Structure 1
Amino acid sequence: MNAPAFLPLAPHLPSFEPGQVWLVGAGAGDPGLLTLLALHALQNADVIVHDALVSDEILALARPQARRAFVGKRGGHPSAHQDDITESLIELARQNLRVVRLKGGDPFVFGRGGEEAARLAEAGVFFRIVPGVTSGLAGLAYAGIPATTRGANRGVILATGHPCANDEESLDWARLAQTGLPIILYMAMKRLDIIVETMLNDGADPKTPVAIVEEATSPRQRTLVTTLGACREDAKAHGCAAPAIVAIGTIVNLREQLQDFLINAGARA
């Protein structure tokens, strides 16, 4: 199937062959952050297996004939089991279909794309990885918070607030805080109290800046700027909820300088 003729890069885009699975990152939420390769995949897919964080605006870009299969996961709600999702990808590929596994953000950044790729390889199914713009970086950028700033930090920590399987507390939050590097947390709202309490109990400065960016890059984006000591109470007072990115560190301070002129800064909590 040919790529859309209106894309200038169409002749250079790879062919999406029947029987292949493409693990595609849909980006942080704003349809404008979708890559050309991701758009190419959507407009050539026979079936799209998508997560909850993929917006209707992005799904609307798919080929009209493409079948959609929702397999989103939401905390506290019935969700598709990961093993079932992966096996369905294999079965669809063996039906000689072009399969897009569409994930919010980037499939290899807390998106379980690595697990799915490994199982596809084990099953002998050819697949392609299509990286996406991860919300931990894009969401902060839209809020006017740079992940790195020359002279301020030489690194950044990306971490998930969700514990790993069979591991209730999989990260040493105190040790992460002691690095002095900014920490960007995914999926942390449910356990924010525990994470912050652990950091504070082990000597983290309660005045450390914190930003909570809800529904990053969407028209509903909202940003709360607070401190490590106050963020738990402030988050509750402002009704902050998932999906949200939490940034901890001095990188948050630049937002005050940028926000009045930043077009995509979003609302303040």
Structure 2
Amino acid sequence: MSAAYFRRTGERTYRATEHTGGAWDQATQHVAPALGLLVHAVEQDRDARRSDGLRIGRASFDILGTMPLAEVEVTVRVLRPGRTIELVEATLAHEGRAAVVLRAWLLDPRPTADVAGTGLTPLPPPAAMEPWDPTTVWAGGFIASVEVRRAAVAPGRGAFWVRTPLDLVDDGTVSPVARAAGLWDISNGMVARAEPGAVVFPNVDLTAHLVREPVLEDGWVGFDTTQTYGPDGLGLTSSVLHDAAGPLGTSAQVLTVRPVAPS
């Protein structure tokens, strides 16, 4: 058993381990670790090109298809170079077929502590929430690899904390941003409006906006999440993202909502 979600196999290639197994289909990857891997690749490329530590302010992922638990390749290119602002694209592919594309805005850090603030309410800490076993609802290696603490929830509404003991990759440390990004996609299944056996609701994207880098005390990432289904097959899972220091940004996922026909 690997202690990481991905094992490096080459300069740009990684092999997905059993811990990436999907919740909807255990033969394919849960996309959450892949999002973290793409953020990691963007930061590695940034640090190889420059030393000023541009911050990721937005990470927008388009999920183009599923991926087996197999080797994947990551490529990075700069779409809009700049001294203080860059737009960078990273693509994760399997056997030449793109599966996830990330476009990230990188912004120049500068001191703004004197004007910093938010009207968003911090979550109660993980210790104030009850442990919850997500494998009672979801299958797959990724769901089995995480620890969840969750407040009382109603269908489509709730708050929770998630962490994992596993490394994102096996070839060194990753940043708090990449580590957090590897957990963001779990929000779609933690406060579901309907039982997965009655309705399927996979997301086709995820966009996160950040106002600072995460502070992952004991590895916890927090979510204050709402899930909405529309009347004609569209849905939305939206979250305020939290860490030990309070709210740090938001995420949103558009869903394709598909009721399961009775057998």
- Please confirm whether the aligned pair reaches a TM-score higher than 0.5, indicating the same fold: no
**Structure with more of its chain in strand, by fraction:** 2
TM bracket, shorter-chain basis: under 0.3
TM-score normalised to the size of structure 2?
A: 0.25
Structure with greater helix share of residues: 1
Larger radius of gyration: 1
